[in-house]
A and B are shown apart, each in its own frame.
Chain A
Amino acid sequence: MRLRQEGLTLIELLISVALSMSMTLVFIQLHVQSHFVSARQQSVSRQLENIATLQHLLSHSLRDALYTISIPDINASSSTDSASMTFSNTCAGIVVQGQCMAPVTSWVAGDSGWPHISGAVTGSSVLQIRQSCCPGVVADQFYLAHRGGLQSNPISLYRRRLQSNGGYAASVELVEGVSELSVSFIMQDNLTGGLALVNGEQVPEWWGLKAVRVRYRLQNMTGVAGENQDALSYSFTLASRQVQQTGDGVGVQVYAAH
């Protein structure tokens, strides 16, 4: 008897192998493409998450600083008779002895005359936003630093809180990959009523502050070879909100500006 164990013929085998190879190649190609898109999508999601987080945290802090209050006219401020006061001036910052002060102060880390922040990247901007949210908290300071002070780590946005006793709460890392941070102000001219976008040094006085604009740069963390890794610029605006007319210092926490 001939015991024939018949499997595939050579032709059949070749066709099967060719088909399998084609399918495998297509599968690998799709998988690589899918992996590439997935990595890119993850980076975009991460970028958006960082944007949303940064804007949320800064907006939350700024919102606390930007309650516009109407205060007595400067010329009438010497009067103690509240009935005779005119409420013609509004201040979106804080009012100290009849003067409207900046809600946000900005300086360059490392400059003398300004509070020293340990670990802050020299030459980067520091934002100090006054706070009235929480008992014992005077201001939030946002600055850029390398995690753990190691230059090999990416720059992150940090926050530390200035307390009413002059001390600082522990610094908190907020968002990774922030490389620049700056603030500008949309001011209304008291005489002409015109609007201008200026930086803090160009503001002679803070009456008529209408909005704050924060600009920042975020590292483009695609994690995909060949993609542009440059940082991207973003900005957001926060307008002051009108609150009920109050007197000098009422409703805001007054602190000595640095």
Chain B
Amino acid sequence: MHTIAKNQLILCRRPQFVDPFGQTAKVGNYTPGVNLGYLKNTPTMFMKGMSLTEVLVASFIMGTGILSLLALQAAALSTGIVSGHRQQASLLLVELAELSHISPGVFREIEPGSLITADAAPVCAEGTVCTPVAFLQKELHMWAASVIQRLPDAQVDIRQSGQPGQSIWTVNLSWHGTQGFSESSLQTELVL
């Protein structure tokens, strides 16, 4: 037996058996499981929906989830872009290596810093014979131009080291990737 307080809400197990003739249930004791009908002076029997707060919280959680998924997708795409840039950089470095094979001896004579700082490439028209230094300088200028064209905000840094008879070019390509990724770079060494 439980004591029912006045205005206490009681959920009936079988509410369809509520007395249709307005009999009032006695405030006092009742046995659980026994149909009491309705109680006089009880406010109402609520079937409540969701509150605005609940909706907002649910929306927030769902929104966070969706945005997380989108962020994940964006990150995957960015990784693809970074991968593409690295592939481009790799191809460009292979191209530079091939150019160095044309005449390694001449490459040793070239000051790599001049390739990046010089405004204009040496004039060496296609089909005309130029000195090896002028020809390779023009080729390297064109190579540097294609680096800038194919990689975003690209920078070429070539440092020369080594000893007499052997020169080592340390080539560093750096570029800015997509948002969320820091600067990327690829480095190689050419032993000439």
B175 cross-chain contacts in A, Cβ below 8 A: none
CB contact list, A3-36 vs B, under 8 A = 3-8, 12, 15-16, 19-20, 23, 27, 30-31, 34
B103 touches A16 (CB 8 A): no
Q: A45 and B103 in contact (CB under 8 A), knowing A7-B49, A19-B59, A27-B66?
A: no
* B49 close to A6 (CB less than 8 A): yes
**What is the CA–CA distance of A243 and B7 in the complex, to the nearest angstrom?**
104
Specify the chain B residue showing the minimal Cβ separation from A5: B47
In Å, the complex CA distance between A195 and B66 comes to 60
Q: Which residues of B contact A55 (CB under 8 A)?
A: 91
How many residues in B have their beta carbons less than 8 Å from beta carbons of A? 45
With A192-B129, A239-B102 known as contacts, the answer to whether A4 contacts B46 (CB < 8 A) is yes
Contact, CB under 8 Å: B126 / A34: no
Q: Which residues of A contact B52 (CB under 8 A)?
A: 8, 12, 15-16
> For the side of the interface on A, what is the size category?
35 or more
Query: Interface digits, B105-142 against A, CB 8 Å rule (1 contact, 0 not)?
Result: 00000000000000000000011111110011000000
Residue A197 lies at the interface, judged by CB distance under 8 Å to chain B? yes
B44 touches A48 (CB 8 A): no
Cross-chain contact B59 with A23 (CB below 8 angstroms): yes
The interface stretch among B28-36, B70-78, B158-166 is: B70-78
The closest CB in chain B to the CB of A192 belongs to: B129
Which residues of chain A come closer than 8 Å to B127, judged between CB atoms? 196-199, 202
A38 to B70 CA separation, bound complex (whole angstroms): 12
> Which residues of the other chain, B, contact A44 by a CB distance below 8 angstroms?
80-81, 84
- Chain A residues closer than 8 Å to B66, beta-carbon distance: 23, 27
CB-defined contacts of A1 to chain B, threshold 8 Å? 18, 38, 42, 44-45
Say yes or no for A194: interface residue by CB 8 A criterion.
Answer: yes
Residues of chain A within 8 A (CB-CB) of B87 are 48, 52
Interface residue B153 (Cβ < 8 Å from any Cβ of A): no
Is the beta-carbon distance between B44 and A3 smaller than 8 angstroms?
yes
Q: Which 3 A-B pairs have the closest CB atoms?
A: A7-B49, A239-B101, A195-B135
